[in-house]
Structure 1
Amino acid sequence: MTVEDHEKTDALETTPIPKDAVDVFDESKDNDIHYKTLTWPFVALLMIAEIVSNGTLSLPSALAVVGIVPAVILIVFLGVFALYTSKLLIDFKLNHPGVHSMGDAGYIMGGPILREILGGATVVFAIVATGSELLSGQQALSTLSDNGMCALHLLLIFSAFVLLIALPRTLEKLQYLGLVSAALITISGIVAMGAAGANPVPGRVIKATIPSDFYTAFVAITNPCFSYAGHFMFFILVSEMKHPEDGMKAAWCLQTFATSFYVLFSVIMYCYIGGTTESPVFFSLPPYWSKVCFGIAIGNFVIAGGLFSHTAAKLVFVRLFRGTRHMYKHTVVGWGVWVCLCFLAVVIAFVLASAIPIFSYLIGVAAALFASWFTYGVAGMFFIHDTHHSEDTSFRRKPIQTALAVFSILAGGFICVAGTYVFIKLIVDAYNDGTVGQPFTC
Structure 2
Amino acid sequence: MSSISHRQSDGDASSEKAEKTSGKDVFSGDEEHDIRYKTISWQFVSCLMIAEIVSNGMFSLPSSLAVIGIVPAVILILFLGIFALYTAKLLVDFKLNHPEVHNMGDAGYLMFGATAREILSFGTIVFAIFGAGSELLSSQQALSTLSNQGLCSTYLVLISAAVTLLISLPRTLDRLTWMGLVSVVVITLSGVVAMIGAGANPVPGRVLSVSMESNFYEAFLAVTNPVFAYAGHFMFFILISEMRRPEDAMKAAWCLQGFATIFYIVFAVVMYVYIGNTVQSPALFSLPPKWAKASFAIALANFLFSGGIYVHTAAKILFVRFFRNTRHIHSHTPLGWATWSLLCFLGVAVATILAIAVPIFSYLIGLAASLFAAWYTYGLAGFFWIHDTYHLKGGMKGVMGRPVGAGLAVFTVLSGAFICVGGTYVSLKLIVEAYADGAVGKPFMC
TM-score relative to the length of structure 2: 0.95
Match 2:87 to one of 81, 85, 88: 85
Contact 1:93 1:99 in 2 (8 A): yes
SS of match in other structure, 1:83: helix
Post-superposition offset of 1:327? 0.5
Amino acid at match of 1:342: C
Amino acid at match of 2:427: F
Match 2:404 to one of 389, 400, 404: 400
Contact 1:142 1:154 in 2 (8 A): yes
Number of the residue aligned with 2:418: 414
Provide the rounded CA distance (Å) in 2 between the counterparts of 1:169 and 1:339.
Answer: 9
Provide the rounded CA distance (Å) in 2 between the counterparts of 1:190 and 1:30.
Answer: 45
Provide the rounded CA distance (Å) in 1 between the counterparts of 2:441 and 2:104.
Answer: 35
Amino acid at match of 1:92: F
Identity %: 62
- For structure 1, the residue ranges without an aligned partner over 5 or more in a row are 1-14
Number of the residue aligned with 1:24: 26
Q: For 1:277-304, what per-residue CA distance to the aligned partner results, in whole angstroms no more than 9, with x for missing partners?
A: 0111110000000000000000000000
Provide the rounded CA distance (Å) in 2 between the counterparts of 1:392 and 1:433.
Answer: 57
Match 1:432 to one of 409, 417, 436: 436
Provide the rounded CA distance (Å) in 2 between the counterparts of 1:222 and 1:260.
Answer: 18
Number of the residue aligned with 1:122: 124
Match 1:284 to one of 283, 286, 304: 286
Post-superposition offset of 1:83? 0.2
Q: For 1:329-387, what per-residue CA distance to the aligned partner results, in whole angstroms no more than 9, with x for missing partners?
A: 10100000000000000000000111110100000000000000000000100110111
- For structure 2, the residue ranges without an aligned partner over 5 or more in a row are 1-16
SS of match in other structure, 1:99: coil
Provide the rounded CA distance (Å) in 1 between the counterparts of 2:88 and 2:211.
Answer: 30
Evaluate the alpha carbon distance shift between residue 198 and residue 107 of structure 1 in structure 2; reply closer, same or farther with a 3 A threshold: same
Match 2:386 to one of 384, 392, 396: 384
Contact 1:17 1:98 in 2 (8 A): no
Post-superposition offset of 1:30? 3.6
Match 2:263 to one of 261, 264, 279: 261
- 1:53-68 mapped onto 2 (5 Å cutoff): 53-68=55-70
Number of the residue aligned with 2:110: 108
Q: For 1:195-244, what per-residue CA distance to the aligned partner results, in whole angstroms no more than 9, with x for missing partners?
A: 10000000000110011111001111100000000000000000000000
Q: Which moved more, 1:27-36 or 1:88-97?
A: 27-36
Match 1:198 to one of 176, 197, 200: 200
Number of the residue aligned with 1:3: none
SS of match in other structure, 2:392: coil
Post-superposition offset of 1:23? 1.3
Provide the rounded CA distance (Å) in 1 between the counterparts of 2:19 and 2:181.
Answer: 34
Provide the rounded CA distance (Å) in 1 between the counterparts of 2:311 and 2:281.
Answer: 24
- 1:108-187 mapped onto 2 (5 Å cutoff): 108-187=110-189
Post-superposition offset of 1:185? 0.4
SS of match in other structure, 2:251: helix
Number of the residue aligned with 2:360: 358
Number of the residue aligned with 2:375: 373
SS of match in other structure, 2:100: coil
Contact 2:30 2:38 in 1 (8 A): no
Contact 1:138 1:158 in 2 (8 A): yes
Number of the residue aligned with 1:34: 36
Number of the residue aligned with 1:12: none
Evaluate the alpha carbon distance shift between residue 16 and residue 134 of structure 1 in structure 2; reply closer, same or farther with a 3 A threshold: farther
Provide the rounded CA distance (Å) in 2 between the counterparts of 1:391 and 1:88.
Answer: 15
Contact 1:57 1:280 in 2 (8 A): yes
Provide the rounded CA distance (Å) in 1 between the counterparts of 2:44 and 2:135.
Answer: 21
SS of match in other structure, 2:20: coil
Provide the rounded CA distance (Å) in 2 between the counterparts of 1:402 and 1:439.
Answer: 48
Amino acid at match of 1:104: D
Amino acid at match of 1:428: V
Contact 1:27 1:35 in 2 (8 A): no
Contact 1:357 1:437 in 2 (8 A): yes
Post-superposition offset of 1:397? 2.3
Amino acid at match of 1:439: P
Evaluate the alpha carbon distance shift between residue 28 and residue 255 of structure 1 in structure 2; reply closer, same or farther with a 3 A threshold: closer
Amino acid at match of 2:310: F
Contact 2:64 2:73 in 1 (8 A): yes
Provide the rounded CA distance (Å) in 1 between the counterparts of 2:157 and 2:69.
Answer: 34
Contact 1:19 1:96 in 2 (8 A): no
Post-superposition offset of 1:391? 4.1
Q: Which moved more, 1:388-397 or 1:159-168?
A: 388-397
TM-score relative to the length of structure 1: 0.96
Amino acid at match of 1:402: A
Post-superposition offset of 1:440? 1.0
Contact 2:158 2:352 in 1 (8 A): yes
Number of the residue aligned with 2:45: 43
Post-superposition offset of 1:22? 1.3
Question: Superposition RMSD on alpha carbons, in Å?
Answer: 1.1
